[in-house]
Chains A and B, each alone.
Chain A
Amino acid sequence: MTQLAPKPAAGAFDRRLLHRARGASVYIGVCAALGLAQTACVVAGAWLIASLVAGAFAGGEDLAALGPRLVALAAVLAARALLASVQEAAANRAAAGVKSDLRRQALARLMRLPSGTRHSGETANLLVRGIDALDAYFARYLPQLVLAAIVPAGVLVVMLIAYPPAALIVLVTLPLIPLFGILIGHYTKARADRQWAVTSRLAHHFADLVAGLPTLKAFGRAAKQTGAIEVTTGEYRRRSMSLLRVAFCSALVLELAASLSVAVVAVTVGVQLVDGGLAGQAGLQTALLVLILAPEAYLPLRNAGAHYHASAEGLAAAERVFAILAEPTEEGTGPAEAGEPTDAPALTSAPHIAPPLRRAPTIMFRRTVFAYPGRDPLPELSLTVPAAQTTVLTARSGAGKSTLLAALLGFRQPVGGSIAFDGTDLARLDLEAIRRSVSWLPQKPVLIDGTVADNVRLSVPHDASDPAVAKAIAAAHAPDGRRRVTAGGAGLSAGEAARVGLARLLLRADLLDTPVLLLDEPTAHLDTDTERAVLESFAPYRENRTVLIASHRDAVRAIADREVDW
């Protein structure tokens, strides 16, 4: 739906898109070769038609004499059909690869960018739907652009040899198209960018309303939102139409230039024929040749213009993907990607691996202050978590317990004070080594497509044995390891999801023997019986480990060696 002004030529941005993609230059080469062959077919076809008509009409020849040329014409046109088919198939194939490549790079990059600054649903949508919209660009627009560079040149050369005045007409009008395209495109550029922003806001507004539909309905407000949706989409239409009125002008110029120059060529050669400037069978053949060739010179540009409208959405999405690729990565997530884009996910193959902590450390927060933008900073905090003991944080909701745990893993930086492991400042420690020494159960553990066992295995980088996984699942009272889970958690209740997270923590603690365990509200969604059973099987894991739990539950507080409130 998002139809925007055509950009006439490949700019710096397109080069970026091509550089990013593996095999894209080979694809352009294939396009060019196919384009050359198609140009040859176009010229040969036009010449054969002109010669056949002139032969029959002016030369009085019959089918017997013209037969071979007619067969040749059929062959040339058939060859053109095959070439177009091959080109389209190759283009679609290449597009699939290029999109996948771009998506992989963006996702790999995103995994190393700080969380919390972007909307994960919107970003997921950008990576799938947004990048998919590049189809139109790669499969349709780009090949036509290549043709637009080759065909007019070939056609012009032939026309110049056959009848220079006609070539001159085309030569004068052809540059008008990109010229007007640039002018109009320049005028609409800023508005086109806003258009994507509006579309995306609209999409989000909708999704937000739908997600909150049960809440709206509970308050009897759902039906009233209908009016709001009408207003929003009406506004969207008005904005889009005012943009399109200008954007379609470049297409108007293109169509006018193409059809008017055909008309002018027809009239010019017609007058020449009447005046005797072109005479005889050869004269008619030349006249027909330039008449047939003239529209062909504009056809790729017209096609490119038409397909550019459709590809604008994909290009806007690509622009945002490039913005992601240009963002600096978070500390401790490995070196910025270099070389082959395909090995981007292989983050674990760092050359030097600092050893993890060997024994349970004492963790100290010294006058630590955390702050979120737009809010009062959280109160200053000094706290010692004794080695090999279980400490439960019972501070009130919103006091920054989750922030504290995330800070130990380097995901939040305090704005003041310091955090130390066994007296060494966290900032001076190797973050990866710290992370390898810690098992962390966040409030909402991640769930991916697969079985419960697959999800439990997510806590250890290498493959965990089946018995180890089974043991962790049993200890956490998690659901059957064979049960299917989908990304986002459909198929599990909140309580079950929490226990899958717990099983994950236990597996990691077991296999990697991590001296530190961090648990954020591990039993929030469990009933009292399950909670008791889970905490019981957790007991052996606490031995000789520094355990830090954020929870207000009495059963959890009962297992604490130390309770901290602030």
Chain B
Amino acid sequence: MVSRRSYSQWRNTIALRLGLGAVLGALAQLSALGLLAVSAYLVSRAWEQPPILYLMVAITSVRALGIGRGVLRYAERLTSHDAAFRGLERLRVAVWRKLVRLAPAGMPVWRSGDLQARLVDDVDGTGDRWLRGTLPLTAAVITAVVAVVLQTAILPAAGAVLALTLLAAGLAGPALASWSSRFALRATAAERGELTENVRACLHGREELVAAGTDAVALERALDGDERLRRAHARIAWSAGLGQCAGLLAMAAAVAGALWTGIPAVAAGTLDGVLLACLALVPLAAFEPVLALPAAAQQTAAAKESGRRLVEITQAPDPRPDPVEPMEFEPNPLGGPPYIEIKRLSVAWPGADRPAIAGFDLKIQPGERVAVMGPSGSGKSTLAAALMGFLPYEGSLRFGGVELAEYDGDDVRRTVGLCSQDAHVFDTTLAENLRLARTGATDDELVRALRWAGLRDWFDGLDLGLATRLGEHGRAVSGGERGRIALARCLIADREVLVLDEPDAHLDAATAERVLRTAAAALEGKTAIIITHRPLPPGVVDRTVHLRPPVPTPRDAPLSSLLDLAPRG
């Protein structure tokens, strides 16, 4: 954990680096401005054929400025990119910390492709905002101010013209560009998410679609989304061009205006003719960074959209905030599992209009194994989430006589474990997948847990043993294996209370019975709550309680998708 003080120091370092980048960028642009202005003066003065010594200062500065621009620009790029990368590091961690508090109940049902796009795109988008939005803007403003000062010093009227045209370009260009693209961008983000999801569905269900001969139909549907995305992109196209056009038109006005004010001034003798070339060329250099502003503004607009979605995440309310002064978690002073007492329990998911469980009562003695049976939609998974401290509740849910709400969520989960049928299998080795339950577990313990979970044959068939990589979202394992890996993980975690959510979902009767019996033996002395929608083999549990849906017509709520964000497909 980074302490608050070093955290703010860290942030300051990033701000400092970004500031340095902006200054270096402005100096690079000013070198270009200086190069053009001094060159123009040099040529004009040389035409008057003074002794060459009079020109040495100009000649030397021209050369220095020529080198300066390239070197300064290089330094600026390195500084600003380093700062952006550091900022992104911080942002990623901050977003992750927030997600940790939200998961799983506080997250709206984001489809995982969309969620993935949010995290990676939106965070990167913020980095782009600094590099391609804020920094070019700062450099452009500094350059423009210096150019106007210079032009005013040569001829005030020309300075006024340059100021006006720069202002027009700086405001109208980006405004035009972002104004028309804003809505289209919003549309694109949705189309992209939807298209990603459709493409993924097509790829995932490819075999089924090909077998049915409807791959073309599904493909067409996905490509409809592509067509919408294409149109949205084409809509954005015009605005970028308009912004560019406004900038270049302003530059035309600036150059023509400089000569329009300069030529009479030279004729009237109020301006030294030597400086007329400067007057004409300064606008060209001053406009170079300003012309890049529409692109910068578009980048900023896109980043704002990302920022809005990130804010949506960071401002989402904590579904089950930890108590301000949590109770010390000591539900059973004698050790072993606590006495659990549930009275008139009512639990609702955030955003749901009615509770998924209402008026549920249950008392569990320490070390008892209880089956909670009920049809789909009766709130079985909701009960599991409430026991895990993922959800707020009404009524009473006491562990060792103390309300669960009085405890810190992490403390609750040190006593209660959850074995969900859809538990995530990480894209890493089998050993790492198991060891996340308990870091210090030895290889022997891992293998023993696998045996208890009924995976002996499967494990013996693995060439690489514990080092076997389980593919994307555990793709290399079947549904039944995934459930049993989750069970093994829970056995390794060795919690006093274990909630098993449909541990037999993908298993044949014989395997299910074997697994349940070994698990029951392994859980001797611990409290176990086994959630199921069909009767368990005799002897596995001490008793069975029934859970009824809170409303007469059950309609399966997508609870499993809340508990597990892995794609179904």
Contact yes or no, A266 B512, CB < 8 A: no
B52 interface contact, C-beta 8 A: yes
B135 to A: closest C-beta gap in Å: 13
- State the CA gap A80–B291 with chains docked (Å): 13
A284 interface contact, C-beta 8 A: yes
B330 interface contact, C-beta 8 A: no
Contact yes or no, B236 A92, CB < 8 A: yes
B170 to A: closest C-beta gap in Å: 16
Interchain CB contact (< 8 A) of A96 among B233, B262, B436: B233
Contact yes or no, B63 A274, CB < 8 A: no
The interface residues of chain B lying within 8 Å CB-to-CB of A206 are 92, 116, 119-120
Contact yes or no, A486 B71, CB < 8 A: no
Interchain CB contact (< 8 A) of B74 among A210, A252, A264, A274: A252
- State the CA gap A63–B255 with chains docked (Å): 15
| Chain A minimum-CB-distance residue to B102 | A213
Interchain CB contact (< 8 A) of B111 among A204, A208, A436, A490: A490
**Stretch of A20-28, A144-152, A286-294, A537-545 lying at the B interface:** A286-294
Scan B28-48; emit 1 where CB is below 8 A from any A CB, else 0: 000110011011101111110
Interchain CB contact (< 8 A) of A488 among B212, B481, B569: B569
| Chain B minimum-CB-distance residue to A82 | B245
A188 interface contact, C-beta 8 A: no
The interface residues of chain B lying within 8 Å CB-to-CB of A121 are 112-113, 116, 200, 472, 567
Interchain CB contact (< 8 A) of B276 among A57, A77, A252, A494: A57
The interface residues of chain B lying within 8 Å CB-to-CB of A223 are 97, 100, 410
A214 interface contact, C-beta 8 A: yes
The interface residues of chain A lying within 8 Å CB-to-CB of B213 are 348, 432, 435-436, 460-461
- State the CA gap A221–B274 with chains docked (Å): 73
A226 interface contact, C-beta 8 A: yes
Assuming the A-B contacts A63-B264, A85-B242, A488-B112, are A100 and B230 also in contact, with contact meaning beta carbons closer than 8 angstroms in the complex? yes
The interface residues of chain B lying within 8 Å CB-to-CB of A490 are 109, 111, 558, 561
B142 interface contact, C-beta 8 A: no
Contact yes or no, A73 B259, CB < 8 A: yes
A424 interface contact, C-beta 8 A: no
B238 interface contact, C-beta 8 A: yes
Name the interface residues of A292-329: CB closer than 8 Å to any CB of B. 292, 295
B69 to A: closest C-beta gap in Å: 5
B206 interface contact, C-beta 8 A: yes
A111 interface contact, C-beta 8 A: yes
Contact yes or no, A93 B200, CB < 8 A: no
Assuming the A-B contacts A223-B100, A409-B211, are A450 and B221 also in contact, with contact meaning beta carbons closer than 8 angstroms in the complex? yes
Contact yes or no, B199 A124, CB < 8 A: yes
Contact yes or no, B81 A241, CB < 8 A: yes
The interface residues of chain A lying within 8 Å CB-to-CB of B255 are 49, 73, 77
Name the interface residues of A105-126: CB closer than 8 Å to any CB of B. 107-108, 110-112, 115-116, 119-125
Assuming the A-B contacts A56-B266, A345-B216, A397-B480, are A406 and B376 also in contact, with contact meaning beta carbons closer than 8 angstroms in the complex? no
Scan B52-78; emit 1 where CB is below 8 A from any A CB, else 0: 100100110011011111110110011
B394 interface contact, C-beta 8 A: no
Scan B101-129; emit 1 where CB is below 8 A from any A CB, else 0: 00110000101110111011100100110
Contact yes or no, B89 A440, CB < 8 A: no
B220 interface contact, C-beta 8 A: yes
| Chain B minimum-CB-distance residue to A303 | B292
Contact yes or no, A88 B240, CB < 8 A: yes
Interchain CB contact (< 8 A) of B85 among A237, A263, A291: A237
A351 interface contact, C-beta 8 A: no
Contact yes or no, A274 B252, CB < 8 A: no
B559 interface contact, C-beta 8 A: yes
Contact yes or no, B62 A266, CB < 8 A: yes
B371 to A: closest C-beta gap in Å: 14
Contact yes or no, A85 B245, CB < 8 A: yes
Interchain CB contact (< 8 A) of B198 among A74, A274, A449, A491: A449
A62 interface contact, C-beta 8 A: yes
The interface residues of chain B lying within 8 Å CB-to-CB of A203 are 116, 120
Name the interface residues of A206-220: CB closer than 8 Å to any CB of B. 206-220
Name the interface residues of A472-500: CB closer than 8 Å to any CB of B. 486-497
A245 to B: closest C-beta gap in Å: 6
Assuming the A-B contacts A92-B241, A263-B35, A448-B221, are A226 and B200 also in contact, with contact meaning beta carbons closer than 8 angstroms in the complex? no
B280 to A: closest C-beta gap in Å: 5
The interface residues of chain B lying within 8 Å CB-to-CB of A283 are 47
Number of interface residues of A (CB under 8 A): 185
Assuming the A-B contacts A121-B112, A248-B77, A255-B70, are A128 and B267 also in contact, with contact meaning beta carbons closer than 8 angstroms in the complex? no
The interface residues of chain B lying within 8 Å CB-to-CB of A95 are 233, 237
The interface residues of chain B lying within 8 Å CB-to-CB of A525 are 376, 505
Assuming the A-B contacts A206-B119, A260-B67, A345-B219, are A222 and B568 also in contact, with contact meaning beta carbons closer than 8 angstroms in the complex? no
B57 to A: closest C-beta gap in Å: 12
Contact yes or no, A100 B508, CB < 8 A: no
A390 interface contact, C-beta 8 A: no
The interface residues of chain A lying within 8 Å CB-to-CB of B69 are 255, 259
Task: Provide the main secondary structure of the chain B interface.
Answer: helix
Contact yes or no, A104 B223, CB < 8 A: yes
B226 interface contact, C-beta 8 A: yes
A336 interface contact, C-beta 8 A: no
The interface residues of chain A lying within 8 Å CB-to-CB of B197 are 124, 449, 486-488
Interchain CB contact (< 8 A) of B46 among A3, A271, A409: A271
A198 interface contact, C-beta 8 A: no
Interchain CB contact (< 8 A) of B564 among A214, A260, A345, A448: A214
Assuming the A-B contacts A219-B413, A345-B223, are A259 and B66 also in contact, with contact meaning beta carbons closer than 8 angstroms in the complex? yes
Scan A233-262; emit 1 where CB is below 8 A from any B CB, else 0: 110110011001100110111111011101
Scan B496-515; emit 1 where CB is below 8 A from any A CB, else 0: 00000000011111111000
Scan B273-303; emit 1 where CB is below 8 A from any A CB, else 0: 1101100110010000000000000000000
The interface residues of chain B lying within 8 Å CB-to-CB of A108 are 219
- State the CA gap A159–B124 with chains docked (Å): 45
Contact yes or no, B67 A100, CB < 8 A: no
The interface residues of chain B lying within 8 Å CB-to-CB of A1 are 84-85, 88, 124, 127-128, 131
The interface residues of chain A lying within 8 Å CB-to-CB of B218 are 446, 448, 458
- State the CA gap A81–B284 with chains docked (Å): 14
Scan A384-425; emit 1 where CB is below 8 A from any B CB, else 0: 000000000011111000100010010100000000000000
Name the interface residues of B466-521: CB closer than 8 Å to any CB of A. 468, 472-473, 475-476, 478-481, 486, 489, 493, 505-512
B328 interface contact, C-beta 8 A: no
Contact yes or no, B424 A215, CB < 8 A: yes
A177 to B: closest C-beta gap in Å: 12
Interchain CB contact (< 8 A) of B78 among A123, A245, A486: A245
Contact yes or no, B113 A488, CB < 8 A: yes
- State the CA gap A247–B161 with chains docked (Å): 40
The interface residues of chain A lying within 8 Å CB-to-CB of B65 are 259, 263
| Chain B minimum-CB-distance residue to A505 | B212
Contact yes or no, A259 B55, CB < 8 A: no
A117 to B: closest C-beta gap in Å: 11
The interface residues of chain A lying within 8 Å CB-to-CB of B219 are 107-108, 111, 345
B426 interface contact, C-beta 8 A: yes
B199 to A: closest C-beta gap in Å: 4
| Chain B minimum-CB-distance residue to A409 | B211
Contact yes or no, A291 B43, CB < 8 A: yes
B168 interface contact, C-beta 8 A: no
A564 interface contact, C-beta 8 A: no
- State the CA gap A229–B90 with chains docked (Å): 10
Assuming the A-B contacts A88-B244, A276-B49, are A212 and B424 also in contact, with contact meaning beta carbons closer than 8 angstroms in the complex? yes
Contact yes or no, A374 B464, CB < 8 A: yes
- State the CA gap A209–B425 with chains docked (Å): 10
Q: Lowest 8 A-B CB distances belong to which pairs?
A: A446-B205, A92-B237, A552-B508, A397-B480, A77-B252, A81-B248, A212-B424, A263-B66
Give 9 pairs: A residue, B residue, CB < 8 Å, sorted on A: A70-B263, A203-B120, A254-B70, A260-B70, A278-B47, A411-B207, A445-B205, A487-B201, A488-B201
Q: What 5 additional pairs, Cβ within 8 angstroms, besides A226-B97, A446-B209?
A: A58-B47, A107-B199, A129-B121, A262-B35, A458-B214
